[in-house]
Amino acid sequence: MRRVVVTGLGIVTPLGCDIDAAWKRLLAGERGVAAPQRLGPHGPPTRAVGEIAPEVVAALRAEAAEGAGPDAARLVDPRTLFALAASRRALAHAGLEAGNHPRAGVMLGAGPGASRIEDVARCLDADGRFDAVRFAGQLKDLEQESILRAPAEQPAACVASRYGIGGPVHAVTTACSASNQALGMAWRSVRSGETDWVLAGGSDSQINPLGMVFFVLLGASAQVDDDDPASACRPFDRRRSGLVMGEGAGVVVLESLDHARARGATILAEVAGYGASLDAFRTTAPPPDGRGAEEAMRYALEDGAVSPADVAFVNAHGTGTKRNDPAEITAIKAVLGEHAATVAVSSSKGAFGHLLSAAAGVAFCCCVKAVQEDAVPPTANLEHPDRGCDVDLVPGRGRALPVRAALNNSFAFGGQNACIVVKKYTAEEDA
Amino acid sequence: MALDVAVTATALRTALGDDPREVWQRVVSGATALAPIEGFDASGFGAPSAAQVWHEPEDAEDDPALRILGPHGRLFEAVSRAAHSAGGLATVPRERVGLFVGMGMVDAAVHDLAAAAQASRDATGAFSLSAFFAGGYRSVHPLWPLSMLGNVAVGQVAIDLDIRGDNLVLSADADAGLRALLEAARSVARGDCDAALAGGASGRITPATLARLALEGQLLGVAPAEGAGACALVRHESDVVGTLRILGGGSAFGPRSGQGPDAAAMSRAMIAALAEGQRSASSCRFVFHHGADDDEELAAVAAQGLAGARAVHTKRHLGHAGTAAPAIDLALAQVALRAEPGCALILASGSRGGTAALLVEVA
């Protein structure tokens, strides 16, 4: 089996689209959650979001339009736009360019796409029923962001087309664990020799009319103080009330060590192991003992032959929901045992919001920065750790900490759990 | 080294039946499941034919399980139960059973959204986003969000069958369904799980289904189908006569002008499958084509020396069941190869340029 290393990072987040600048802001305790801008004037029930600012979206659109071919019309879809922007940054970071890459792949987590209620509203008959014939006659008027124009595989396909990637190109659709599963799938592909490198991670945006009521309908949305929307998401805090939706992308270049060395690439970190599990418990809640999360973490450590003693940082899924947070801490303690007392555990969802299918892609970039720079990011908005959440949750600001290995956790509605292990790259292991 | 993963059971749900042997006989005899679309007025789309299997239960509106699973999930649940039981997966520790699924575009439950849209009209009768946010959205069923997530249906199957191992859900075209089979086989071969349930499902045919096909220029070339397929996989350790084995696979990307992958990408996927499976093209008795009369695919098949294999075009008879098509083809390949032992290459492609191939064998 080949060793797999990280050679490029690319992000689009509410804290910026430059990995170094966003990382500094995250360490400083800044937050990108705010009142909604794009849909704010219409009074959505979701009053805090981790949104990419409209001027940033415009800039990314202009950037993506350079050299756009037949995919130009698809840039309206935010997921596709963010995936292209993050991929562009990851490739540039890795020193790779567009070309003919038959042994490269793209594996991206993506949300289901946007069902647009405006499309339905245009096709009601006099009695308020959906009129299929009218719908068929108005296809040209369908919203450009509609799931019917922009299905889940579109971001990965557009990235592959733009950069000449000809190996496996797939969309992982396991919601909030999708990016980690895409990273795991990519790691396995590179490790086995199927590919030399893969653009992996995820991209998502549900800041659209139905997306803005998605978690409200499910009762999972955080209560928001309109005077302080940035504090709405409070992972591991006693006062946590739910999650705050965000949007963005996190894409990295995973590459075989041999390939990276042969082209003189800078190696940022190594991917050591990956594990996935299913809760098989309830659709919208984890088991209180966190057994599914525990199994995913345990498999990842075993897969990478990484000892719990080597883990210094856990980038927690930490959604800020009542049930997820304590279950995850229980799982972390079960996996790391006595070492859990010395491990830094933080969630970036208070700062970014929950980037859904992109969440673990951005979190993975944070893990790479943590092992590169020996620093851990904070858990924003954490003031009063909940009972049972008695580990080092890094409140306030980030801090320096030697990090040999980090775990990246992600868990989804539906019960899909995934964990990936990032560790410092050392050339000696290859000898 | 070839994967050498055994298929211990297959299950399918198609408009030509649910028994692989009977369906294969009907395909071979030239039967077709394609018929005018029922359930809504499809005349606006040119009244295309389709292969439908979904029958809406009378209590669908009030059935929470169906609300969460959706028709796609219910179809997958049915074949999963069958393959799980027949494949003996209940005897494998639940943490060691994997679940790998290709899930097509899910049903958007337009009737729910219609009620919300109707409740969100302003004084002029026009749809108002402010009215929607002010309360119109409450006409959307609270479980609607879950039905939009294909992985939730897969998670529900995991709950039903108590499966807790390695897993993946890919979307949304046929190549994703085939890659899910390949990922399952590789997981078993690596030892990440001891056994796996793998397959795919395509949801109910709705106006949205036809709209997507029409927007992608496929409506005139493809008859959509509802259906599902699943198989049980274990590491192959004994030479039981007639056992279907997955030997290898591959996927590639290369969009052609128009729709689908180009011949070069299809060739790369086939080469990868044959290489991983350590078999030559001459060992293939059957090629299960993705397209019916796709010149690019035919050129790629010929270029790989597979022109001598018998060409099977199941979609002419069953319609195109999207992400479910590869698992359905796998079940039919097992029947075909038991009658004529050798290898079969199963091909699947997506509209955006993705393509995949899976090599299977009955020794």
Last residue of a domain, one of A128, A145, A162: A145
**Is B9-109+142-235's fold the same as B244-362's?**
yes
Q: For position B70, what pLDDT does the model report? A: 84
Select which of A101, A170, A317, A367 is catalytic.
A317
Q: Report the residue from B117, B165, B215 with minimal CB separation from A120.
A: B117
Q: Are B284 and B343 in contact (CB under 8 A)?
A: yes
pLDDT tens string A265-304: 999 999 999 999 999 999 889 999 999 999 999 999 999 9
Question: What distances in angstroms separate CA B59 from CA A3, B55, B108, one per listed residue?
Answer: 54, 12, 18
- B9-109+142-235: CATH, from 3.40.50.10700, 3.40.50.2300, 3.40.47.10, 3.40.1280.10: 3.40.47.10
Q: For residue A178, give the nearest of A358, A333, A311 by alpha carbon.
A: A358
Strand partners, A197: A104, A255
Domain ranges of chain B: 9-109+142-235, 110-139, 244-362
Within this chain, do residues A110 and A66 fall inside the same structural domain, yes or no? yes
Task: Retrieve residue B248's tokens.
Answer: 């290898």
- Say which of A149, A216, A280 has its CB closest to residue B163: A280
- Say yes or no: ipTM exceeds 0.95: yes
Read off the pLDDT of residues B255-276 as tens digits, 9 standing for 90 and up: 998 789 999 999 999 999 999 9
Question: What average pLDDT does the structure give for chain A?
Answer: 95
Q: Closest partner residue to A136 among B45, B155, B165, by Cβ?
A: B45
Cβ A371 vs Cβ A381: under 8 Å: no
How many structural domains compose chain A? 2
Q: Range with the lowest mean pLDDT among A205-214, A408-417, B202-211?
A: B202-211
Structural domain includes residue A430? no
Q: Is A93 a catalytic residue?
A: no
In a domain, A231, yes or no: yes
The verdict on B171 touching A (C-beta cutoff 8 Å) is yes
Mean pLDDT of chain B: 93
A132 plus A55 within the same structural domain: no
Instruction: Decide if B185 touches A, using CB distance below 8 A.
Output: no
- If you average pLDDT over residues A205-221, what whole number do you get? 94
Measured from the Cβ of residue A38, the count of other Cβ atoms closer than 10 Å reads 18
In a domain, A336, yes or no: yes
* Rounded Cα distance, A383 and A234, in Å: 8
Is residue A431 included in any domain, yes or no?
no
The confidence score (pLDDT) of residue A431 equals 47
For the domain with range B244-362, which CATH number is right: 3.60.21.10, 3.40.50.620, 3.40.50.850, 3.40.47.10?
A: 3.40.47.10
Return the top range by mean pLDDT from A140-149, B57-66, B332-341.
B332-341
Q: Ranked by mean pLDDT, which of A108-117, A370-379, B293-302 comes out on top?
A: A370-379
Q: Which of A43, A210, A216 sits opposite B134 (nearest CB)?
A: A43
Which residues span the domain enclosing A108?
4-114+150-425
Largest Cα–Cα distance of chain B, in whole Å? 73
Token duo for residue B318: 């069953």
Tell me the pLDDT tens digit for each residue of B115-133. Answer: 999 999 999 999 999 999 9
pLDDT band for position B107 (cuts 50, 70, 90): low
Best residue in A47, A130, A204, A243 to probe B by mutation, most B CBs within 10 Å?
A: A130
Chain B CB within 8 Å of residue A148 CB: yes
Give me the CATH number covering residue A155.
3.40.47.10
Domain boundary at A127, A145, A163, which? A145
What DSSP designation does B64 have?
Answer: H
pLDDT (0 to 100) of residue B1: 76
Q: CA dihedral in degrees (A129, A132, A138, A140; nearest 10)?
A: 130
Take residue B19 and report the two structure tokens written for it.
Answer: 């028994």
Q: Which amino acid belongs to residue A163?
A: Y
Are residues A163 and A28 part of one domain? Answer: yes
How large is the average pLDDT for residues B141-146?
86
| DSSP assignments along A305-346, one per residue | T--GGGEEEEE------TTHHHHHHHHHHHHHGGGGGG-EEE
pLDDT band at B220 (very low <50, low <70, confident <90, very high): low
A354 is catalytic: yes
A279 and A224 assigned to the same domain: yes
Contact of A242 with chain B, judged by CB distance below 8 Å, is answered with no
Residue A116 is encoded by which pair of tokens?
Answer: 């647009």
Is the pLDDT score of A258 beyond 70?
A: yes
CA distance B195 to B189: 9
* Cβ distance of B149 and A185 shorter than 8 Å: no
Q: Is the model's pLDDT at B218 over the cut of 80? A: no
Residue A415, chain B, CB below 8 Å: the answer is yes
Beta bridge partners of A34: A49
Residue A421's SS3 state is strand
Q: What are the tens digits of pLDDT across the range A311-355?
A: 999 999 999 999 999 999 999 999 999 999 999 999 999 999 999
One domain for residues A66 and A136: no
Q: How do residues B156-170 score in pLDDT, each as one tens digit?
A: 999 999 999 999 999
Contacts of A312 (CB under 8 A, 6+ apart): A342, A343, A344, A376, A401, A402, A403, A404, A405, A406
What angle, 0 to 180 degrees and rounded to 10, lies between the N-to-C axes of helices B295-303 and B263-277? 40
CB-based contact, B275 to chain A, within 8 Å: no
DSSP A150-169: S-TTHHHHHHHHHHTB-S-E
Same structural domain for residues A124 and A268? no
**Shared domain check, A273 and A252:** yes
Question: Is the domain of A242 the same as that of A334?
Answer: yes
> Within this chain, do residues A320 and A270 fall inside the same structural domain, yes or no?
yes
**Which residues on chain B are in Cβ contact (under 8 Å) with A292?**
164
